[in-house]
Amino acid sequence: MTRIVFLLIPRLHLLDLAGPAQVFSTAIDFGLPYTLSYAAAQAEVPTAQGIAVKASTDWPVADILVVPGWRSPLTNEALDPAMTTHLAEHHARGGTVVSVCAGADALGQAGLLDGRRCTTHHDLQEHLARRYPRATVVRDVLYVIDDRVITSAGIASGIDLALHLIAVRHGPGMAARVAREMVVYVRRNGDEQQASALLRHRSHLNDAVHRAQDFIDARFTDRLPLAGLAARFDVSERTLTRQFDSAIGMSPLRYQQLLRVERAEHMIGHGSTVEAAARAVGFSDARMLRRLRNG
């Protein structure tokens, strides 16, 4: 039985807690041997979203301690000494500690980031690096694992991290099953960028372009002629191109190429050849991939 205990800090973000908790809860529904507990320095913990959650004021026995992030972090506010001591002692006994978003600060206060690689939300990375100069803050990744100290980026990345832990213990098939049950589109790897192309070009307000991007995102390895895209969304090719250019500064084809190149770069970084990566993402040969990577 793997005992997971969430350590709750006032003003915690609900999704930092609920995301990984839902992953492990779903795993329990599938018969996996987990138990979930919640502990804090106080019996009722206020959240950043305005509701309170209840927790035990004892420190339950745990295999994995998880610290969700909270609002107004990294402001030199000292946490409850009992919590940081508990984190340090748990790791010293061979346990695993996990943080989501600003929860990395709790690990830092416990001395667990010194000499280790870690990450946090992209808005907090510089602050974390200044506050804990003996840590190596890895920027723009989803999560980092270093000697049973596991830190993740912000908010939804806690889901990716929890799914990774399921995959390590029970295989990728079970992690995929949990993800499907949660209607999570895909489990992202830890070294994928926090601000990938799927996110960088989604800050606009054009709903029609968002729908077209949804279609391209799901099929970016396929041939997607402009005429077919335009017909699918009942606009002219010129109108669709103009809408894309206005919303994200590029054509539908260029957006698709960007997705292909980013995915290919990820595969190459994990040992794939350029030729194999090019074929996997939909290029007929490696020449176009090389041209786009260099241009």
- For residues 191 and 237, the model is more confident at 237
Query: Is the pLDDT reported for residue 218 higher than 70?
Result: yes
- Is the same domain home to 147 and 82? yes
Confidence band for 44, pLDDT divided at 50, 70 and 90: very high
Q: What residue type is assigned to position 52 of the chain?
A: A
Residue identified by tokens 């840590």 is 135
Contacts of 288 (CB under 8 A, 6+ apart): 278
Which strands form 149-152's sheet, in the order they lie side by side? 34-40, 2-8, 64-67, 96-100, 149-152, 143-146
- Is the same domain home to 206 and 116? no
Nearest alpha carbon to residue 215 among 205, 203, 228:
228
Query: Is the pLDDT reported for residue 90 higher than 70?
Result: yes
Mean pLDDT for the stretch of residues 211-221: 87
What's the pLDDT score for residue 107? 97
| Token representation of residue 264 | 């290919």
pLDDT in tens, 176-200: 788 888 887 544 555 545 445 655 6
- The conformational region for residue 180 under phi > 0 = left, psi -120 to 50 = alpha, else beta, is alpha
Helix (H) or strand (E) holding 159: helix 157-170
- Is the same domain home to 266 and 131? no
Catalytic residue among 100, 101, 104, 277: 101
- Is the same domain home to 169 and 204? no
Are the CB atoms for 285 and 293 separated by under 8 Å?
A: no
pLDDT in tens, 97-129: 999 999 999 999 999 999 999 999 988 999 999
The CA–CA distances, whole Å, from 131 to 115, 126, 138, 156 equal 14, 9, 14, 24
Confidence band for 43, pLDDT divided at 50, 70 and 90: very high
Query: Is 154 in a helix, a strand, or coil?
Result: coil
Top mean-pLDDT range of 120-129, 168-177, 237-246, 259-268: 237-246
Arithmetic mean of pLDDT over the chain = 88
- For residues 220 and 186, the model is more confident at 220
Mean pLDDT for the stretch of residues 221-236: 94
- Burial class of residue 95, CB neighbours in 10 A (0-12, 13-18, 19+): middle
Mean pLDDT for the stretch of residues 268-291: 89
Are the CB atoms for 212 and 233 separated by under 8 Å?
A: yes
Number of domains in the chain: 2
Known catalytic membership, residue 118: no
CATH of the domain at 129: 3.40.50.880
**Percent of the chain scoring above 90 in pLDDT:** 62
**Percent of the chain scoring above 70 in pLDDT:** 91
Q: Is residue 109 part of a domain?
A: yes
pTM: 0.67
- Burial class of residue 184, CB neighbours in 10 A (0-12, 13-18, 19+): buried
- Is the same domain home to 225 and 277? yes
Query: Is the pLDDT reported for residue 294 higher than 60?
Result: yes
Residue identified by tokens 């206060």 is 109
Mean pLDDT for the stretch of residues 135-140: 90
- Is the same domain home to 288 and 228? yes
Contacts of 31 (CB under 8 A, 6+ apart): none
Nearest alpha carbon to residue 124 among 146, 107, 147:
107
- Is the same domain home to 46 and 86? yes
Expressed as residue numbers, the domain containing 209 is 197-294
- Is the same domain home to 173 and 256? no
Query: Is the pLDDT reported for residue 15 higher than 90?
Result: yes
- Is the same domain home to 8 and 101? yes
Are the CB atoms for 139 and 125 separated by under 8 Å?
A: yes
What's the pLDDT score for residue 139? 84
CATH of the domain at 279: 1.10.10.60
